[in-house]
Every structure is written in C-alpha cells, then in structure tokens.
Amino acid sequence: MNEKKIGLGSVIATGVGLVVASSCLLTLGIGAGSIGTPFIITMAIACVVNILTLLSIAELNALMPNLTGGLAQFSLACVGPFVTIICMVGGYLLCNSLAGSVEGAVFGNTFAEIFSSYGIPAWVFTVILIAFLSITNLNGVDVFIKVQDFVAYALIISIVAMGVMGALGIGTGEIVEQPAALATDFKSVTGLCGVAFFLFVGGEYVVPLTKSCKNAKRDIPLGMVLSMLIIFGMQTLLTLGFKNYTDWGTLANHTTPQMLYGQVLLGPLGKYWMLVITLLAAISSVNTVMGSLAYILMGMSKIGLLPKVFQKVNKKGAPFVGILLETAIFTILNVTGLSSTSSISYMISVLAVLWLISYIISNLNVIILRKRLANAPRNFKTPLGYTVPILGMLGSAYMIYNIDPSWDVKLSLYKVVLVVLAVLGVYSFIWVKVKLKRPMFKPYAIKEVMAMENDLYHEYRTKNKVKKMINEKVG
C-alpha cells in the first residue's frame, strides 16, 4: 500500500461505500413503510449510537495508529486473543462475507430482471461484477480508491437528487395522499432501531486506510462521522420522497422498494436511474468489503490470529490471498444460489447481532485503556470522559434487544447467535491453546501488538524458537 495518498474525500467515499448498499435500500423501504416518516427519528437514534462507537474506535486508532487489522489488534491489547478471535471472525469475516454475497446477488437479480428476455441467469451478472472488482483490488489501493471515489460520489449525488425531487414533490409521477406518520409512540419508533442499524453499520472500515492518509489525525475520525451524517441525510430525503410517491403498505412489502420509488417518481427514466443507483451501491459495497476486509485479515494474521498466508502481497502491494478468498466466497455463494434464498435476511440479522457485540467490545476497549494507560499520548480522545464509550455500549445493547419487532423471531435469533458463538469459541480455544500457546484472556502489551506489524518481529520470534529447539535437543 502506498503511503500519503488518501485525503478526507477518499475516506468518506470508503465509509459511505460500504454502508450504502442495495440491501440498505431494501431495509429503508421496510422501516419507512412500517411507521412512515417517524422512521427518520429511528434512523437518527441508530446514527448517533454508531457515531459514538466510531468515536471510540477513532480513539483506539489514535492510541495504536497504523495497524492493518484495526479492531482485532485493539481488542488483542485489551481482552486477549480468545475474545478477539470470536468477535472478529464472527462479527467481520462471516458477516461481511455473507453481506458481500448478498450485494452481489441483488445486483445480479436486478439485471436479470431488466434483461429477462435474454434468459441469462442472475449469477452470471454477479460473477462478472465480482471478477471486475477482484481485478481492481488486486491492482492495489490506488485503483481501489479511484474506483471507490467515483462510485461513491456518483451514488451520493444520485440518491440526493432523487430524494430531493421526491421530498419537494417535483417528480413527474402522481403524488400519493397518505398520512406522514403511521405510528408515533415510543415503542414503535424505537422498536425498529435494530432495523435502522443496518443503514449505518461498517463506518470503521476506513481504519485500515490510516497508513495511506495525508492527515490521519483529522481524516479518520472526521471521515467516519461525516460518512454517517451524509448517509443519514440521504436516507432522510428518500424517506420524505417515499411519503409523497409510494404507498406505505406497498413499500414495506416490496422486494425492490428502490425500483418501485424510481418508477413512480419519474416513470421509465426513474426506473433506469434507480437501476444505475443499485449498480453503484452494489459496486461500492462489494468493492469496499473485498478490499478493506483483505487488509483486516492481513492484520489479524500479523498478530497470530489467522494463518500467515494472509500476509502475502503481490507486486502491487495488495493482500491477494484475502482478496481471492473473498472472491471465491462471493462467487460460490452466488453460483449455488445460497445468497438469494429466503433465509438470507434472517442470517444477516444473526450476523448483525455478532457485529453489535464487536461494537460493544470496541467501546469496552476504550474504557480498559483509559484505566490502564491514562497518561499515554493520544492525538484524538473522545470528549466527556467515559460518557461516549458507555453510551455506545448501551446503545449497541439496545439495538441487539430491538433487532426484530417480533419476540419469536428475536428469541430464535438469540439462540442461533449462541450456537455461532459456541462454535467460534471452540475454534478460538483450539487456536489459542495449540497454535499461539498463550493465555486465553491475558491482553498483549500494546508495544508487542504494534511490533507485530513489522515483519522483523516474526523473523525474530522464529529464530528464537529455532534456537530454543536446538538447545533443548543438545541439552
């Protein structure tokens, strides 16, 4: 990865790129169609909670800068390897592998519908998209950022334009007469916080780009916060547009609400414009997941939580093993049809709970390091003492509680999450005890975690192990 090339605009593009996805447009339709414009309040709550967590992550990044693995390395220095592996593998590798597959599926299904007369399977379009983005990511961060900048800002401009036209009622379609609010009580508004969470999750994916920032001290925290605010503004405009042009009930039950909105707002022009937006959202989110997750896997490998093979880079400096792994996962899930089954939204909810657990751990990490290293230099520190991380933890826990309006579904989700955590716990236990041979819950020293980023650290440890083995045999 080349250094000192990324500005604030690219940080925002990466932050917005992962979060604004085709599945988010679907989630927005479900939420807004359920309670009307009060869903804007729900989104505001979810946005604020996510910003609190991102501020905590920004402080961790300021205390331990330039770490490729981001949250994995922060957690390793706070809660030890056992919890870190569970949170990172469950909350990131599984969640984003599935989420990226879903985005590819939405892209393929949309284009297959538009070009249905040719009889081309949806997965063919998906594989073409995945192959293209794999090539761009294998060409290094420069190409990744160029693609991301163009796609993300084209996406923002398009969504804002269609949102403004709908909110002002200046579309060519017929305005629908309906109440702005379907429910305004506290339970209805806050009960969809778990749904609104999907609209803002993932802003921390800019952390692995810290090394390439021109001004990381400013751009990382500011870029993450601005990404959330920009997304909130975009989703708010679309919600107001929905109120004017789409029937709430139809919107909540439609499989592609963004296509419905485009059609009723501007007719055929709106339909194809929204098709372009869906294309941009898919490219942006899959590109970000594929690129950023590969660097996170590299960072986890450097601290011994994953095999060393993830540290390999090609001539462009890209971690090609992680990129090819994600490419393979996305392709297999789409070709087999797994990512387009009816159970996919349920599984995303399960993995979102795992992601929120990772957010709780991240906020806890700030509190731990505030206690342990109170006087350590930080070029960014969350304001108001412990208020931000504590509120971030409580907010994330509340969104887990409100992950679904139905208690039956909620309890079912919790059971599945416990099973996943148990399986990950077994894997983590074996890896820590057999491979790492370290105490499961003992935090690593920060200086050791940061030293692991350097290849010389691993060479030194390897040489020492060899010397120890020789001495033992000689003795």
Question: For position 470, what pLDDT does the model report?
Answer: 46
Which residues span the domain enclosing 290?
A: 8-444
Mean of all residue pLDDT scores within the chain: 82
Task: Please indicate, yes or no, if residue 286 is contained in any of the structural domains.
Answer: yes
Question: For position 459, what pLDDT does the model report?
Answer: 61
Task: Please indicate, yes or no, if residue 3 is contained in any of the structural domains.
Answer: no
The pLDDT of residue 169 is above 90 = yes
Higher pLDDT, 256 or 239: 239
Measured in residues, the chain has a length of 475
d(CA 79, CA 234): 37
Q: Which residues of 384-420 are buried (b: 16+ CB within 10 A; e: fewer)?
A: eeeebbbbbbebbebbbebbbeeeeebeebeebbeeb
Closest CA to 328 of 100, 140, 86, 85: 100
C-alpha 252: how far from chain center: 24
The pLDDT of residue 474 is above 50 = no
Of the pLDDT bands very low, low, confident and very high (cuts 50, 70, 90), residue 23 is low
Question: For position 321, what pLDDT does the model report?
Answer: 92
Burial of 255 (0-12, 13-18, 19+ CB in 10 A): exposed
Does the pTM of the predicted model rise above 0.95? no
d(CA 199, CA 194): 10
Question: For position 53, what pLDDT does the model report?
Answer: 92
Query: What's the distance, Cα to Cα, between the start and end of the chain in Å?
Result: 45
Closest CA to 232 of 28, 26, 387, 11: 28
| CATH for 427 | 1.20.1740.10
Task: Please indicate, yes or no, if residue 252 is contained in any of the structural domains.
Answer: yes
Tell me what the mean pLDDT of segment 227-232 comes to.
92
The pLDDT of residue 47 is above 90 = yes
Tell me what the mean pLDDT of segment 55-59 comes to.
89
Q: Two tokens at 79?
A: 């809660």
Question: For position 67, what pLDDT does the model report?
Answer: 64
pLDDT digits (tens, 9 = 90+) for 242-255: 999 999 988 888 77
Tell me what the mean pLDDT of segment 225-252 comes to.
92
Give how many domains the chain has, as a whole number: 1
Of the pLDDT bands very low, low, confident and very high (cuts 50, 70, 90), residue 298 is confident
pLDDT digits (tens, 9 = 90+) for 307-322: 888 888 888 888 899 9
d(CA 262, CA 172): 11
Q: Are 51 and 228 in contact (CB under 8 A)?
A: yes
Of the pLDDT bands very low, low, confident and very high (cuts 50, 70, 90), residue 3 is very low
Task: Please indicate, yes or no, if residue 215 is contained in any of the structural domains.
Answer: yes
Tell me what the mean pLDDT of segment 197-207 comes to.
80
Task: Please indicate, yes or no, if residue 63 is contained in any of the structural domains.
Answer: yes
d(CA 56, CA 63): 11
pLDDT digits (tens, 9 = 90+) for 92-110: 677 777 778 877 887 887 7
Say what percent of the chain tops pLDDT 70.
Answer: 87
Task: Please indicate, yes or no, if residue 460 is contained in any of the structural domains.
Answer: no
Task: Please indicate, yes or no, if residue 461 is contained in any of the structural domains.
Answer: no
The most confident of the ranges 48-57, 84-93, 345-354 is 48-57
Give the HSE-up count for residue 256: Cα atoms under 13 Å, Cβ half-sphere. Answer: 20
pLDDT digits (tens, 9 = 90+) for 405-441: 788 988 999 999 899 889 889 988 998 888 888 888 8
The pLDDT of residue 397 is above 90 = yes
DSSP 79: T
Task: Please indicate, yes or no, if residue 161 is contained in any of the structural domains.
Answer: yes
Q: Are 223 and 210 in contact (CB under 8 A)?
A: no
Tell me what the mean pLDDT of segment 9-36 comes to.
79
Residues with Cβ within 8 Å of residue 193, at least 6 apart in sequence: 42, 45, 46, 49, 398, 399, 402
Residue type, 355: W
